[in-house]
Structures are given as C-alpha cells and as structure tokens.
Structure 1
Amino acid sequence: MMNMRKSASSFLSDCAIGRVDPRTDQRSVYATRRINAGELIAVFGGSIVTPRQIAQLGPGAGRYALQVDEDLYLLSTRDGPGDWINHSCQPNAGFRGQVSLVAMHTIPAGDEICFDYAMADGSPYDEFDCQCGTPRCRGRVRGSDWRIPELWIRYQGHFSTYLAARIAGLLSGQPSLVVGME
C-alpha cells in the first residue's frame, strides 16, 4: 500500500512535497522523486459547500475550492501542502475521477507539480490573470476554459468526472448533460 500522509483536509503522496517561498509566501508542490505516468499524487478533501457559503466566508475563501458539481464545491478546511498544487496552462498532472490527481506523464524529481484549473472548474468563481509563463499560457484563467476543444484533446482522460460529463454532453448534443450552459 502506498504511504500517504495526511495534509490538512487533503492527502499528498510521498512522491511530492509542499514548499513555501519565504520571500513571496508562494506555496507550491514539487516531485521528491521521479513520478510515473498515472501515479497518484494527491487526493483533495474538505467540506462540500455552495457558492453562497464560499461568498459568506469572504474574499479569497474560494482559493482552495474545487468544483465537484454544478453549484457544489469541495472546500479545504485547512491550509496544507495537499492544497498547494498550482495552475499551469501546460500541466504535468490531471484528474482521475473527481478528486484524485495523477501524473499525466513522467514527472522528473524536482519539477513543480501543476494542473490546469480548466480540468476541474466550470464556473467563474475564481478567475485570475495567469502567470504560469509556459508557451501555452492562455493569459487568463476562466471558468469557461473547459469549453476549449483543444483542451479536450490535450487533457483527454484527465478532466474531473464532473467536467468530463459536461464535455460528453456537448459532444453528444445532449444539452441536459451540459448543466449551466447558455
């Protein structure tokens, strides 16, 4: 059985470690060793909340929220390394199921572990200017980014269950599967 350590409300595998930059207070997660494609990195945890509940908590409360369904979010109840996996428009990790994060390809030891928030977020609750600096940077992270067909191909098999169902609804032409669409 894989050795997992509890990190606040989320779990971070021993293949990764959280770091805080003392100059900027930026939190990140890095590979402690080579991580093979498909290997489990983290399992997100917390409490299920609505957008209204997030808003009542004040500015920045949605920072560690993960959308799990239409108008439902998994909100980490404590800040910890399992929640510090940052966004990148050129990620090396993606979803397996709803809350498990796995390596999309081999990740060398020392590399920062990142996922594209478009793999899980389908609402505009936490949009921001992207600073990932990768060649594929979109410039802004939006709740509608999951609708970009190029990402469907690039991240195939790595969208959260919730968004995979939305994408399947778009592709099949069944609007009942595409909740929240205009």
Structure 2
Amino acid sequence: MDDLVKNYIAEKKLNVASWAELRECRKTGSKSLHTTVEFMPGQVICKFGAKKSLDRPNYLTVQIDDCQHIMLDPEFLQYLNHSCAPNVFFAPSDRVVRAITKIKIGEEMTFFYPSTEWSMDREFDCICQSKDCLGTIRGAAYLALDILTKYKLAEHIQQRLAKGP
C-alpha cells in the first residue's frame, strides 16, 4: 500500500481555513490542526476572538487574563493541541496566534498550554514525546520558574509570576 493510501485510511482531513486543515485519526478520534502553508517565526497565523467568555476554565477555553477564559472564535482553534516543544503561541493581548518556529506545510500546530493557563480545569499526561516533555500538565502555577522561563508566556502569566509565591 502506498503512503497516500495509508494516510487516507489513517486520517480524515477537513480544510477549515486557507492556511489550515483539521485532521481526525480514524482509529482514536483525536483531532489536530495542521498547516496547509508555511509559516516563519514571529509571523501572525490568525486573529482570534471570544465566542463566549467564562470566569472559570474548562477543557476548551484559553485564559486571556487573570479571571477571563474564552471559548475560541474561530472555533477550530480549539484543536491546537499541547506540546512541551510548541511551534505556536496565543498572544491574548494582541488576540493573535503567532508562529514561534518555522512551521512546514502539513506540520501539526501546537502550543504550550501553561503559556496561557495558570491552573487548568483538567490535568493530563502529556504525550508530545519531545526530549523535554514535562509529563503531567496542570498549568503554570504547578511548574518551576526555571522551566517556565524557557517558554514564551502570555502577559497575565508573566505578571502573576512577577508577584511571587
């Protein structure tokens, strides 16, 4: 069986923007967002807004300040999965998603959840398989400062860290 046929069998793909496709693993049902164009470090990938604003996190929200968590608009951004070696960053102050690294066509876009989340609704065991994988992910509040300083962090997380323990 050639690679194209294997890929078709393994994943279902749906174009969700001119620059992205949503992929769903037929075996597990897990979804991920992949590029259909190349992005360079610092490049704005897209703007985002709030479909709904909440005062508490849930597993689909992104924290944009100390007390505000939003359901994302466009909604497909909720499929940006976590990685301890992320290639994108949510910048809540600018309401944009930016490339951190060069992102090749077809590459999965991922972000570091504690970069925006102080304390998450649900912890989970990371499966990113990066050499610096942190294991259990619960939010920035549960990570040492020397680990967090390796990542690009949203302003509200930086401000909270500056206040100290």
Give the structure-2-normalised TM-score: 0.76
CA drift at 1:151: 2.7
Which of 93, 116, 131 does residue 112 from structure 2 map onto? 116
Structure with more of its chain in strand, by fraction: 2
1:166 is paired with a residue whose SS is helix
CA drift at 1:83: 1.5
Matches of 2:73 and 2:109, distance apart in 1: 22
Q: Is the 8 A contact 2:38 2:104 kept in 1?
A: yes
Q: 1:147 to 1:14 in 2, by over 3 A?
A: farther
Output the aligned Cα RMSD: 2.4
Equivalent residue runs for 1:2-21 within 5 Å:
14-21=18-25
Equivalent residue runs for 1:3-152 within 5 Å:
14-42=18-46, 43-51=48-56, 62-76=58-72, 80-98=75-93, 99-143=95-139, 144-145=141-142, 147-152=144-149
Q: Relative to structure 2, which stretch is displaced further, 29-38 or 65-74?
A: 65-74
Q: Which residue of 2 aligns with 1:6?
A: none
Matches of 1:46 and 1:26, distance apart in 2: 23
Q: 1:18 to 1:148 in 2, by over 3 A?
A: farther
Q: Could you list the runs of 5+ residues in structure 1 that have no partner in the other structure?
A: 1-11, 55-61, 170-174
In the alignment of these two chains, the number of paired residues is 147
Q: Is the 8 A contact 1:16 1:41 kept in 2?
A: no
Runs of 4+ in structure 1 deviating by more than 4 angstroms, as ranges, are none
Q: Is the 8 A contact 2:59 2:121 kept in 1?
A: no
Q: Which residue of 2 aligns with 1:159?
A: 153
Matches of 1:48 and 1:165, distance apart in 2: 21
CA drift at 1:47: 1.3
Q: Could you list the runs of 5+ residues in structure 2 that have no partner in the other structure?
A: 1-15
Matches of 1:145 and 1:16, distance apart in 2: 32
| Seq. identity, % | 24
Give the structure-1-normalised TM-score: 0.70
Matches of 2:143 and 2:52, distance apart in 1: 24
Matches of 1:46 and 1:88, distance apart in 2: 24
